Amino acid sequence: MLQSSDADGEESPDFKWGEMKGLGQKDKNVKFYESFTFDGIEYRLFDCAYFCVRGQCETSIGKLVKMFETSTGEKKVKVIWFFRPIDIRSFLGKYEPLWDELFLACGDDLGVSNINDVEAILGKCNVVCQSRHPKNRYPSKDERRMANYLFTCTFDTRLKIISKDFADAIAGIGVEKLFNKKREEQPLKRLNSTAAGSSRPSPVKPFHPDSGSTKLGKKINRDRTSPTRLTLTFILQDLFLKDSASREHLKKNPPVNTDVTSGCPRTKSRASGDLLAPGSSVNPTPSKKRKLRLSMTEPADSYGLVHQPEEKRFIKNPPLVVKAPSQNIPFEDELKEAIEKDRLLLFENLEPSYTSLDVEDLCWQAFNERVDARMIPASLLSSPHNGKALVIFGTTRAADKALSRLTEGYLMLSDERPLVASRNAPKEVGECKRFTGHFTLVDKAQMSIQKASYCNSHVKRLSLPQRSQKSYITCDLTQSLFF
Amino acid sequence: MANQGEEEYAKFLEKVRRTVYVDELTPHASEAVVKSAFDQFGTVTDLRFLPNYFGPKELPVSVLVEMENEDMAKAVIGTLTQFPFMVAGMPRPVRAAAATPEMFHDRPKKPGSKIQCRWIDPSDPEFDKAKKMKRLVQKHSAETSFMLKKQLEEAEKLDKQQSETATTHYKKFELIDKLYHDGAAKNLASHYNMKSFSFH
């Protein structure tokens, strides 16, 4: 089945289709697949993934329920979305979500599912279902521990209620498929998403929010815990709940796809205050959950966000999106955090002419990891033959893995020099107490005058006979120390 | 694309030529102080301290001083190699040299350079060679840090010794000065019938 991908292999080398599932019923040119590999990560049907839209700081999480290639060669995935508690904060009521809880979208409304470009996928996300539903295989403790998120409830986008009942089908997909995978499928999934000891490098890690790995991940964590509580108090004041409900919902569904009349659903709903349900499951209606900023105190802000959907192109190279925030914050801060989390490695024996970007490239080639690297600037004190770089990995585990890989084998660089890595972290930035070569005499007050006069006139000192004998001598003394 | 890279690199090299590397600078020197010190030679357009990630904080810091043009940079280097130059009132002359591209952590890629790497596993014939080299690198870095430590210790020892000498001398002079001031020396001289001489 690989030949189908060969056709446009040149345009996205990171992408490869897996096994073909069949052809479209209506349109024979549409090919459905079971899995695909994108950016080194294999995605299978019913895996969950992080999605990103330009202009939004929060990622969205969705389940991949269909993967297909259109007649024009566009690679699409159909996604059923999960809501974060903050997305539906106005409707939580008394429900107190767990810190890593998600809600599966259901109902026949817009925003349950839609079709996205494959490029929008950022990385894999491990979501388990903890529902006691008879069709669901209850997750083991291990699975629960490994999971990034869990879900037990659905959120009906039309009725705006949270429910523990699962409909038989959501967006045309049988509900049993949305639950945890059956045992026999498990290893496959594990291999890609969580396994640590497997030989396959797993570049998903940088996107794991749990480990607080990337800035992005951290943000998710922070956002998730506190604001929910905030909302619960706010909900009482939310008098126009019904009205804002649909509006918030709209905001979650700005059209993102290119192939759709963008902005259409938004304007419609703004006007009518209620959404129609145009069979969203089949229509390639683009919608995207979006993070509602803490705009709850000023609903006017929500209108300000509306222009964003017009940026409908996804970023071609998603991992860069994750890296982007780190470029905004000073490297020193990032470094500090990386040291705390043990995500930092020191690379030595690099060709001194390597640039920071080269090192990042190198890590991608060798470890399949996106890293943030910085060459340590050379100085006259440092060795001219040994380039060093600080490399910040996405997660502690990624750093561990790279380090152990480098201990087992050797990474030979272009000019036959093996890379040397270590866990040497820069020392805590402390204050320098004193600088040798400078000392003070007993009498500080007097010294300061002398020092000043000395420094001002260390060249023409001798031409000033009127200076007192004492300071004259001291000058001589001081001078003798430094020349 | 390639042209763009080359252009960028050429621009960067031009910047490198305008830049002076200065070290032996006290860690207490602030940006403003350094800037005003080098503004005497021309216009300083940019200033960046090189981070000292691994050494002790007592090490002298280095700074890259970007001047407005190449001539100014040359003037700085010329003057500083001929005369001792002190910055921030620190009686320890700084040292200047021309900057090299490696001193910039954000240097652009050299056009045409390509990163290549390959893994060497135990079965590879070059495994032993790689192992040896790696050991050597580790040894070198250990040696470097040890030497640095020793050097600092030595500098400190010397500094301590000198400061002690200076303090003693200072105290002696102060004593003599005091004797002259309160007239004790004069009294003694007259007492022993000696010819008094003036220190001043």
Prediction pTM value: 0.45
HSE-CB for A81 with a 13 A CA cutoff = 34
Give yes or no: residues B99 and B9 share one domain: yes
For the stretch A6-56, pLDDT in tens is 444 444 567 888 888 888 777 778 888 888 888 888 888 888 998 876 666
The CATH number of the domain holding residue B24 is 3.30.70.330
The CATH number of the domain holding residue A344 is 3.30.70.330
Pair of tokens at residue B75: 């003037």
Instruction: Cite the DSSP H helix spans in B56-126.
Output: 70-82
Residue B118 covered by a domain: no
Q: Is the Cβ–Cβ distance between A75 and A257 less than 8 Å?
A: no
Q: How far is CA A5 from CA A119, A206, B3, B165, in A?
A: 15, 27, 32, 81
Kind of pairing between the strands at A149-156 and A101-106:
parallel
Residue finishing a domain among B67, B85, B103: B103
Q: Is the pLDDT of residue B11 over 80?
A: yes
| Cβ distance of B86 and A390 shorter than 8 Å | no
Tokens 């003693």 belong to residue: B168
Residue finishing a domain among B103, B118, B146: B103
Give yes or no: residues B93 and B163 share one domain: no
The candidate with the shortest Cα–Cα distance to B103, out of A382, A147, A330, is A382
Q: Is the pLDDT of residue A70 over 70?
A: yes
| Cβ distance of A365 and B89 shorter than 8 Å | no
Residue B26 covered by a domain: yes
Residue B110 covered by a domain: no
For chains A and B, what is the number of CB pairs under 8 angstroms? Answer: 187
Residue finishing a domain among A422, A454, A477: A422
Which chain A residues have a beta carbon less than 8 Å from that of B104? Answer: 377
Find, in chain B, the residue whose alpha carbon is nearest to that of A427.
B54
Pair of tokens at residue A355: 């640039």
Give yes or no: residues B51 and B99 share one domain: yes
Q: Is the pLDDT of residue A256 over 50?
A: no
Query: How far does B192 lie from chain A, in Å, by closest CA?
Result: 26
Query: How far does A320 lie from chain B, in Å, by closest CA?
Result: 18
Residue B123 covered by a domain: no
Give the pLDDT confidence score for residue A445 in this predicted structure.
45
Q: What's the number of domains chain A is made of? A: 2
Give yes or no: residues B52 and B98 share one domain: yes
Residue A416 covered by a domain: yes
Find, in chain A, the residue whose alpha carbon is nearest to that of B48.
A377
Query: How far does B102 lie from chain A, in Å, by closest CA?
Result: 5
Query: How far does A395 lie from chain B, in Å, by closest CA?
Result: 21
Give yes or no: residues B151 and B74 share one domain: no
Rounded CA-CA distance A24/A209 in Å is 36
SS3 A420: strand
Give yes or no: residues B8 and B65 share one domain: yes
Residue A69 covered by a domain: yes
Find, in chain A, the residue whose alpha carbon is nearest to that of B142.
A424
| Cβ distance of B89 and A451 shorter than 8 Å | yes
Q: Is the pLDDT of residue A228 over 80?
A: no
Residue A5 covered by a domain: no
| Cβ distance of B166 and A478 shorter than 8 Å | yes
| Cβ distance of B93 and A432 shorter than 8 Å | no
Q: What's the number of domains chain B is made of? A: 2
| Residue B162 structural domain | 129-191
The CATH number of the domain holding residue A52 is 2.30.30.490
Residue A405 covered by a domain: yes
| Cβ distance of A365 and B90 shorter than 8 Å | no
Percent of chain A with pLDDT over 90: 0
Q: How far is CA A301 from CA A88, A291, A294, in A?
A: 17, 13, 9
Residue B109 covered by a domain: no
Nearest-by-Cβ selection for A414 from B51, B90, B116: B116
Give yes or no: residues B90 and B31 share one domain: yes
Residue A58 covered by a domain: yes
Residue A118 covered by a domain: yes
For the stretch B22-78, pLDDT in tens is 888 887 788 888 888 888 888 889 888 888 777 777 778 888 999 988 888 888 888
Nearest-by-Cβ selection for A442 from B133, B156, B170: B170
Q: Is the pLDDT of residue A248 over 50?
A: no
| Cβ distance of B58 and A436 shorter than 8 Å | yes
Give yes or no: residues B17 and B57 share one domain: yes
Nearest-by-Cβ selection for B54 from A412, A426, A436: A426
Which chain A residues have a beta carbon less than 8 Å from that of B148? Answer: 381
Residue finishing a domain among B88, B103, B118: B103
Beta-bridge partners for A390: A346, A374
DSSP state letter for A102: E
Which chain A residues have a beta carbon less than 8 Å from that of B108? Answer: 355
Rounded CA-CA distance A128/A143 in Å is 8
Residue B85 covered by a domain: yes
| Cβ distance of B155 and A437 shorter than 8 Å | yes
Give yes or no: residues B20 and B93 share one domain: yes
| Cβ distance of B162 and A481 shorter than 8 Å | yes
Find, in chain A, the residue whose alpha carbon is nearest to that of B56.
A427
Give yes or no: residues B58 and B97 share one domain: yes
Residue B198 covered by a domain: no
Q: Is the pLDDT of residue A110 over 80?
A: no
Nearest-by-Cβ selection for A380 from B21, B158, B177: B21
For the stretch A232-247, pLDDT in tens is 333 333 333 343 444 4
| Cβ distance of A353 and B110 shorter than 8 Å | yes
Give yes or no: residues B70 and B134 share one domain: no
For the stretch A205-221, pLDDT in tens is 334 444 433 344 334 44
Which chain B residues have a beta carbon less than 8 Å from that of A441? Answer: 166-167, 170
SS3 A483: coil
What average pLDDT does the segment A399-410 reach? 84
Give yes or no: residues B91 and B13 share one domain: yes
What average pLDDT does the segment A134-155 reach? 85
| Residue A417 structural domain | 331-422
Which chain A residues have a beta carbon less than 8 Å from that of B21? Answer: 379-380
| Cβ distance of A365 and B102 shorter than 8 Å | no
ipTM: 0.77
| Cβ distance of B54 and A424 shorter than 8 Å | yes
Residue finishing a domain among A177, A192, A214: A177
| Cβ distance of B92 and A435 shorter than 8 Å | yes
Residue finishing a domain among A177, A211, A235: A177
Find the helix or strand (DSSP H, E) in which A211 lies: none
